């Protein structure tokens, strides 16, 4: 079995597990709905800028909670079994792919609920969706790898936040900048450059994660 | 390497040179202000010019001129020395300028044979009411100023910076030192993953620690510098400050991560993995994003450090040794810390 097949099988395994348990997705959905509900009931008068920031903060925390489960969901012995069967790189890639897909669905859903409840000031929908896509990719890469690190420690939840947030800040900053441009009020003609930077950051972190993961899994 | 002496002995004279020469070399004479910054063609005016680091009373002759690049020059009719740092200059501007623009920016040069020359670049504006460049070419006669006097080896005078330009030998090289230490730590983390040698992990740890200290010192020296030039210790609009603060947070997290493990082998392995990942993230923070954003730092908007117009050769003569000196000092401190940890471990084993 080559690596691509391994990735495909592992990816399907993640999906099957998710559909069987419906644990992660329903928990995260509850989280998104309740935060948006809190924002709504506080009768917060959001301008486009505040709307944007709020949206990304909610998405950021939802992503952390989603990705934090990547390596703690299954027992250590079962993971050892996977590692003895397949290439570790295939494991991390499949988890990243799965998380990207999950975050993508989650973020689009969050956007839908958000614009249903608070209204959507988005002017350039295409650009905003590009931002959501790059956000899902970047958050998934970073948080999957960080959760692989923090799952080795005892109190992995707090380590996840300590290690993950500083690293993800550049991605969030670029995201806010790009998506701001999709809202009325700001126009930056050099936005394609920012999209390229965002993509480059995602790829650099992804490359580093793939190179380092094989050293991480052994216990 | 850590037991060899030559590079430690090398770092001491370099740093002494940096501190002594860096702090004692005088600044070039400079012009801090003029009593008026505009004039109209055909006008004759007298302005008071305040200069810095000059001794006009000791000079035989003080000369002044207005100059646009090198194409248009006009010398002062009369220069009256008030005291060492104040002169009064009288200019008589011709009725027409050989230019088709409404106004032109001029630089003011003040030259005396005792101190050398000082420049106030591009601050003086000459407006013209009647634009006639052909007539201007006839009327305007560039006065030959003669050669400017030698300044000797002085640091350049920059408005706003004044004497704080010497912080270039502390603030900037400390960042370089931090970067080299982090590179060293990353290399050792990489070697740990290849060799599983605990010694490599310890080296990575001490280099990260000293790099972090250097980074904090870089922030502190930068804050002091910012207070005297920008008027505030910290500004949240400045991308570089925020990015470096976050980069240091990433490395703080490295030590939090180390403390989360009791098993030495596991700690070393996971810390090494995180350290390499942190280096990639820190590179993005310090070297990629600040280049894309406007900044108050010199060479902003594209260039992360000093541009060629900010540095000159006298500064470079101290700046490059300063980078080497501070970096060597950083590695020296790291080796001392490393050996202390080794001794501590041996002592604990004996107990």
Q: What is the model's pLDDT at position B308?
A: 47
- What is the residue-wise DSSP string for A200-216? HHHHHHHHHHHHHHHHH
What the block records as the tokens of B206 is 């001490």
Cα end-to-end distance, chain B, whole Å: 29
Kindly list the distances between the CA atom of residue B335 and the CA atoms of A172, B87, B176, B216, in Å, as whole numbers in the listed order.
38, 56, 18, 19
**B86-92 and B78-83 as β-strands: parallel, antiparallel, unpaired?**
antiparallel
Q: What is the pLDDT of residues A15-66, one digit of tens each?
A: 888 888 777 778 878 888 888 888 888 766 777 888 888 889 989 998 888 8
- Comparing A94-103, A135-144, B24-33, the range with the smallest average pLDDT is B24-33
DSSP label at residue B57: G
What the block records as the tokens of B19 is 């501190």
Distance CA B337, CA B343 (A): 10
Number of domains in chain A: 1
Q: Write out chain B residues lying below 8 Å of A166, CB-based.
A: 246-247, 249-250, 253, 281
Mean pLDDT of B154-182: 86
Q: What count of other Cβ atoms lies within 10 Å of the Cβ of residue B22?
A: 22
Kindly list the distances between the CA atom of residue B11 and the CA atoms of A110, B2, B325, B331, in Å, as whole numbers in the listed order.
57, 14, 5, 10
Q: Is B182 a residue whose pLDDT tops 70? A: yes
Confidence label for A219 from pLDDT (cuts 50, 70 and 90): low
Q: What is the model's pLDDT at position A153?
A: 82
* Percent of chain A that is helix, strand, coil (3-state, to 5): 80, 0, 20
Residue with tokens 């930077």: A197
Distance CA B201, CA B197 (A): 7
Percent of chain B surpassing pLDDT 90: 32
Contact predicate B49/B78, CB 8 Å? no
Residues linked to residue B62 through DSSP beta bridges, in sequence order: B112
Q: What is the model's pLDDT at position B296?
A: 66
Mean pLDDT of B313-342: 91
Kindly list the distances between the CA atom of residue B35 and the CA atoms of B39, B66, B90, in Å, as whole numbers in the listed order.
12, 15, 12
What the block records as the tokens of A22 is 């419906």
Chain B contact for A208 (CB, 8 A cutoff)? yes
Mean pLDDT of B42-49: 88
Q: Where are the alpha helices (DSSP H) in chain B?
A: 6-24, 133-139, 171-195, 198-229, 239-259, 264-283, 289-292, 313-350
User: Which class is B30-139 in CATH?
Assistant: mainly beta
Q: Is B21 a residue whose pLDDT tops 80? A: yes
Q: What is the model's pLDDT at position B305?
A: 46
Mutation choice for B interface testing from A88, A153, A193, A202 by most B CBs within 10 A: A153
Q: What count of other Cβ atoms lies within 10 Å of the Cβ of residue B146?
A: 9
Q: CA of B128, closest CA in chain A: separation in Å?
A: 37
Per the rule left: phi > 0, alpha: psi between -120 and 50, beta: everything else, A163 is alpha
Domain span including residue A117: 3-216
Q: Across the interface, which of B261, B280, B284 has its CB nearest the CB of A153?
A: B261
B250 and A149: CB-CB below 8 Å? no
B257 and A153: CB-CB below 8 Å? yes
**What ipTM does this complex have?**
0.87
Chain B contacts in chain A segment 161-200 (CB below 8 A): 162-163, 166-167, 169-170, 173-174, 193-194, 197, 200
Distance CA B216, CA B219 (A): 5
Per the rule left: phi > 0, alpha: psi between -120 and 50, beta: everything else, B229 is alpha
What the block records as the tokens of B234 is 């910290």
- In this structure, chain B runs to a length of 351
Per the rule left: phi > 0, alpha: psi between -120 and 50, beta: everything else, B83 is beta
What the block records as the tokens of B97 is 């300028």
Q: Is B304 a residue whose pLDDT tops 50? A: no
Q: Write out chain A residues lying below 8 Å of B273, CB-based.
A: 149, 212, 215-216
What the block records as the tokens of B89 is 């200059």
Q: What is the model's pLDDT at position B211?
A: 95
Task: Kindly identify which residue of chain A lies nearest to residue B289, measuring between CA atoms.
Answer: A170
Contact predicate B174/B214, CB 8 Å? yes
Q: CA of A177, closest CA in chain B: separation in Å?
A: 11
Q: Write out chain B residues lying below 8 Å of A163, CB-based.
A: 253, 256-257, 274
**Residue B60: strand, helix, or coil:** coil
Cα end-to-end distance, chain A, whole Å: 25
Residue with tokens 């590079």: B7
Mean pLDDT of A60-78: 82
Q: Which residue ranges make up each domain of chain B? A: 6-22+161-350, 30-139
């Amino acid at each position: 079995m080559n690596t691509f097949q391994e990735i495909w099988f592992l990816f399907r395994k993640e999906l099957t597990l998710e559909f069987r348990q419906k644990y992660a997705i329903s928990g995260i959905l509850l989280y998104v709905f309740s935060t948006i509900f809190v924002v709504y009931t506080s009768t917060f008068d959001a301008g486009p800028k505040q709307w944007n920031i709020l949206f990304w903060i909610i998405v950021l925390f939802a992503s952390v909670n989603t990705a934090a489960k990547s390596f703690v969901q299954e027992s250590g012995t079962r993971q050892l079994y996977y590692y003895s069967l397949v290439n570790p790189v295939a494991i991390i890639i499949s988890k990243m792919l799965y998380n990207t897909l999950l975050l993508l669905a989650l973020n689009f859903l969050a956007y839908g609920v958000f614009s249903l409840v608070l209204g959507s000031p988005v002017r350039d929908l295409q650009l905003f969706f590009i931002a959501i896509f790059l956000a899902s990719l970047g958050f998934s890469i970073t948080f999957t790898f960080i959760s692989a690190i923090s799952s080795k420690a005892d109190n992995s939840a707090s380590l996840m936040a300590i290690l993950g947030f500083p690293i993800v800040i550049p991605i969030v900053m670029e995201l806010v900048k790009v998506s701001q441009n999709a809202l009325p009020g700001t126009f930056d003609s050099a936005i394609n450059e920012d999209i390229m930077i965002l993509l480059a950051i995602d790829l650099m972190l992804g490359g580093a994660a793939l190179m380092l993961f094989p050293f991480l899994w052994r216990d | 390497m850590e037991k060899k002496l030559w590079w430690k002995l090398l770092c001491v004279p370099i740093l002494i040179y940096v501190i002594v020469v860096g702090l004692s070399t005088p600044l070039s004479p400079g012009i801090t202000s003029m009593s008026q910054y505009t004039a109209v063609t055909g006008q004759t005016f007298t302005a008071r010019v305040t200069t810095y680091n000059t001794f006009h009373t000791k000079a035989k002759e003080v000369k002044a001129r207005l100059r646009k690049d090198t194409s248009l020059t006009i010398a002062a009719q009369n220069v009256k020395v008030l005291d060492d740092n104040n002169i009064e200059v009288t200019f008589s501007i011709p009725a027409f300028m050989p230019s088709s623009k409404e106004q032109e920016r001029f630089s003011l040069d003040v030259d005396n044979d005792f101190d050398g020359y000082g420049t106030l670049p591009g601050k003086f504006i000459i407006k013209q009411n009647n634009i006639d460049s052909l007539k201007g070419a006839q009327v305007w006669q560039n006065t030959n100023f003669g050669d400017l006097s030698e300044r000797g080896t002085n640091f350049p005078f920059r408005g706003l910076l004044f004497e704080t330009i010497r912080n270039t030998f502390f603030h900037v090289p400390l960042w370089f030192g931090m970067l080299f230490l982090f590179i060293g730590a990353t290399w050792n983390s990489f070697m740990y993953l290849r060799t599983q040698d605990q010694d490599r992990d310890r080296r990575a740890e001490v280099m990260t620690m000293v790099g972090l200290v250097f980074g904090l010192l870089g922030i502190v020296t930068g804050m002091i510098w910012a207070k005297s030039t920008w008027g505030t210790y910290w500004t949240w609009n400045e991308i570089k400050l925020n990015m470096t603060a976050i980069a240091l947070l990433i490395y703080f997290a490295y030590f939090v991560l180390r403390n989360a493990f009791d098993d030495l082998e596991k700690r070393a392995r996971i810390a090494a993995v995180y350290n390499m990942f942190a280096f990639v993230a820190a590179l993005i923070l310090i070297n990629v994003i600040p280049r894309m954003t406007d900044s108050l730092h010199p060479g902003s908007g594209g260039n992360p450090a000093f541009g060629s117009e900010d540095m000159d050769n006298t500064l470079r003569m101290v700046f490059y040794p300063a980078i080497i000196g501070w970096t060597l000092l950083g590695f020296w401190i790291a080796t001392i810390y490393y050996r202390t940890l080794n001794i501590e471990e041996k002592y604990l084993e004996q107990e």
